[in-house]
Amino acid sequence: MVEIVVNVMFLFQVIKVYNEDNTSKAVEVPTDVTARDICQLFVLKNHCIDDHSWTLFEHLSHLGIERTIEDHESVMEVSSGWGMDSDSRLYFRKNYAKYEFFKRPLDFFPDHMVSISTETNGLVDHSELIQTFLKSSTCPEIHGYLHAKEQSKKSWKKFYFVLRRSGLYYSNKGTSKEPRHLQLFADFSDSHVYTVLSAKKLHGAPTEFGFCVKSTKCSSARDLKLLCADDEQTRTCWITAMRLLKGKYGLFKNKAKITTLPFQRSISENSLVAMDFSGQKTRVIENPSEALSVAVEEGLSWRRKSCHRLSGHGSPSAAQSSVPNIAIHLAQPWFHGKLSREEAQRLIIQQGLIDGVFLLRDSQSNPKTFVLSLCHMQKIKHFQILPVDDEGELFYSLDDGHTRFADLIQLVEFYQLNRGVLPCKLKHHCAQITL
- CA distance between the termini of the chain: 20
pLDDT at site 145: 97
- Distance (Å, whole) CA 42 – CA 203: 35
Element at 327 (helix H, strand E): helix 323-327
Q: What is the DSSP letter of 260?
A: T
- Give the count of beta carbons closer than 10 Å to the beta carbon of residue 9: 7
- Give the count of beta carbons closer than 10 Å to the beta carbon of residue 252: 21
CA torsion through residues 97, 98, 104, 106, sign: positive
The amino acid at 215: S
- The values of phi and psi at residue 128, to 5°, are -115, 15
β partners of residue 160: 145, 171
β partners of residue 212: 194, 226
β partners of residue 210: 228
pLDDT at site 300: 52
CA torsion through residues 54, 58, 59, 63, sign: negative
- Distance (Å, whole) CA 150 – CA 146: 12
DSSP assignment string, 20-78? TTS-EEEEEEETT-BHHHHHHHHHHHTT----S-EEEEEEETTTTEEEEEPTTSBHHHH
Element at 290 (helix H, strand E): helix 288-312
- Distance (Å, whole) CA 68 – CA 244: 13
CA torsion through residues 202, 206, 208, 211, sign: negative
β partners of residue 89: 59
| 3-state secondary structure (DSSP) of residue 291 | helix
pLDDT at site 316: 39
In which residue ranges of the chain is pLDDT below 50? Answer: 1-2, 6-9, 118-121, 249, 251, 253-271, 302-324
The amino acid at 8: V
**Which candidate, 254, 256, 286, 289, places its Cα nearest to that of 273?**
286
pLDDT at site 280: 66
| 3-state secondary structure (DSSP) of residue 202 | helix
Beta strand pairing call for 88-94 and 12-18: parallel
The pTM of this model reads: 0.76
- Distance (Å, whole) CA 359 – CA 337: 10
Long-range own/partner contacts, residues 135-138 (CB < 8 A, 24 or more apart): 136/248, 138/165
pLDDT at site 254: 44
β partners of residue 370: 362, 385
Give Rg (Cα) of the chain: 25
CA torsion through residues 196, 198, 201, 202, sign: negative
| 3-state secondary structure (DSSP) of residue 273 | coil
Element at 235 (helix H, strand E): helix 232-245
